[in-house]
C-alpha cells in the first residue's frame, strides 16, 4: 500500500503521524490500523476463555 514510516514509533493512534511524508499515504495507514484493531478484537473474542 506504499505506507512508509519516517520515525521509530509504535504503530497506533499516535504513531500514525510518523507516516506523514512524501511518497506515503496516511489514508492507507489508517485503513491498516483499523484492520489490525478489528481483527485483534475478533481474535480475542474467539480465543478468550473464562
Which run of H or E residues covers position 7?
none
Band (pLDDT 50/70/90 cuts) for residue 45 is very high
Range of the domain at 35: 1-50
User: By CB neighbour count within 10 A (0-12 exposed, 13-18 middle, 19+ buried), where does 27 fall?
Assistant: exposed
**Which three three-digit cell numbers place residue 19?**
507516516
Render pLDDT for 4-38 as a digit per residue (tens, 0 to 9). Answer: 777 777 767 777 777 877 877 788 888 888 888 99
Global pTM value: 0.66
Number of domains composing the chain: 1
Q: What share of the chain is helix, strand, coil (3-state, %, to 5)?
A: 55, 0, 45
Task: For residue 18, give the nearest of 33, 6, 31 by alpha carbon.
Answer: 6
Amino acid at each position: 500500500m506504499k505506507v512508509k514510516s519516517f520515525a521509530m514509533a509504535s504503530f497506533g493512534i499516535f504513531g500514525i503521524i510518523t507516516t506523514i511524508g512524501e511518497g506515503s499515504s496516511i489514508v492507507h495507514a489508517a485503513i491498516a490500523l483499523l484492520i489490525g484493531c478489528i481483527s485483534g478484537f475478533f481474535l480475542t473474542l474467539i480465543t478468550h476463555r473464562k
